[in-house]
Amino acid sequence: MTWVLTLGLSLLAGSAAFYGSRWRDQRARRELAYWRALHAAEGAGLPPAPLPSPGMAPAVVGHAAALPDEGQHQATRPQPRPMAWPPAPVSPPAPPPAVAALPLNMQATQPLPAQAAAAPLLSNELTVADELLDLQQQVDFLQLLGQHEAAADLLATRLARGNAGAMPYLMLMELCQQRGEPEVFAELVKQFEQRFRVLAPQWSQSLARGRGLDANPSVIAHLQVVWADPATAMQMLQDLLARGGGPGAPSFELPAYRDLLTLYSVSRDLFEAGLRGEEVDLMLPIDSSFGKQS
């Protein structure tokens, strides 16, 4: 029995080592392909599209095409052009401070990231979206644990601090609907309409089933224009969340706010991945005497 147990453990360890090595190789290939595509897009435009495999549909061309004329083919409902809505532009990054000249053997090991100066600027400005994202995660976690009272107290505390946008109000209204509290809901409706000068949802209207971001095609068209630049996309999403509305959408409903936060989280990850990628230094000096016996 001992040798059978030993053999089984050996097989299990070998399988784990094999699949672990295979997973690391696949991950390394995916990361290498990502960085190659990123540098190719920043340098010489988009990389050439791969040839379609037999039996598969050809890939969609990645460059922007002109939107169709809205005055023609109304029955086919073409994608709308972005409405005139210039968001607050991202301020250009400050020039890096002058540094003393470094020795030649150290210059290759000290690369200056192209977007390093832009990171502190964005981290200082993009606070509304980060706060809403953190608030939504905390409320979802408390509800998952069944602590609905704690979730309501958290939202009420945020509203009591002032300067809260529309999303915390809508989240607390949704929680009141789930808990069956029409009196608290009515008071929130009154506060919401006085603060934002728009009609609030009614008790009979399910906030969780409201209109998502796909009901605002002009907003989506604006995001598609800037999505290739994560920093600009983050700034536009920040502005949309702070305003509570956008082109063709005077006010967002709760599902649209959640869609915007999801897009903001993705664009923030892409932006941070770009910063990490440009900090990788592949031009390290090689000591020719390494490994030689003295």
Assigned domain for 78 exists: no
Q: What is the pLDDT of residue 275?
A: 77
How far is the C-alpha of 169 from the C-alpha of 159, rounded, in Å? 7
At 37, is the pLDDT very low, low, confident or very high (cuts 50, 70, 90)? Answer: low
Continuous H helices in the chain? 2-44, 104-107, 118-125, 128-144, 148-160, 166-179, 182-196, 217-226, 230-243, 254-278
Q: What is the mean pLDDT of the chain?
A: 73
DSSP 203: T
Residue with more model confidence, 254 or 45: 254
Q: Name the CA dihedral angle for 120, 139, 175, 266, rounded to a multiple of 10 degrees.
A: 50
pLDDT, tens digit, 9 for 90 and up, residues 145-173: 999 999 999 999 999 988 889 999 999 99
How far is the C-alpha of 221 from the C-alpha of 81, rounded, in Å? 7
Helical pair 148-160 and 166-179, crossing angle rounded to 10 deg: 150
**Largest Cα–Cα distance of the chain, in whole Å?**
86
Assigned domain for 261 exists: yes
Assigned domain for 294 exists: no
CA atoms within 13 A on the CB side of 137: 9
Assigned domain for 147 exists: yes
Assigned domain for 71 exists: no
Nearest Cα residue to 170 out of 192, 154, 148: 192
Are 251 and 245 in contact by the 8 Å Cβ rule? The answer is yes
At 280, is the pLDDT very low, low, confident or very high (cuts 50, 70, 90)? Answer: very low
Q: What size, in residues, is the chain?
A: 294
Q: What is the pLDDT of residue 274?
A: 83
At 127, is the pLDDT very low, low, confident or very high (cuts 50, 70, 90)? Answer: confident
Q: Is the pLDDT score of 59 beyond 70?
A: no
Q: Residue with structure tokens 């983050």?
A: 234
Q: How many domains does the chain have?
A: 1
Assigned domain for 118 exists: no
SS (H, E, C) 116-140: CCHHHHHHHHCCHHHHHHHHHHHHH
State what percent of residues in the chain have pLDDT above 90: 45
The domain of 231 spans: 123-278
* Residue range 89-96: mean pLDDT, rounded: 46
pLDDT, tens digit, 9 for 90 and up, residues 96-112: 444 445 444 444 444 44
Q: Is the pLDDT score of 85 beyond 60?
A: no
pLDDT, tens digit, 9 for 90 and up, residues 169-226: 999 999 999 999 999 999 999 999 999 999 999 999 999 999 999 999 999 999 999 9
Assigned domain for 42 exists: no
Assigned domain for 72 exists: no
At 2, is the pLDDT very low, low, confident or very high (cuts 50, 70, 90)? Answer: confident
CA atoms within 13 A on the CB side of 63: 7
Indicate the range of 30-39, 216-225, 263-272 predicted with least confidence.
Answer: 30-39
Are 108 and 245 in contact by the 8 Å Cβ rule? The answer is no
Tokens of 21: 């090595």
Q: Is the pLDDT score of 138 beyond 80?
A: yes
* Long-range interactions of 278-282: CB distance < 8 A, separation 24+: 278/111, 278/113, 278/114, 278/115, 278/116, 279/111, 279/113, 279/116, 280/35, 281/108, 281/109, 281/110, 281/111
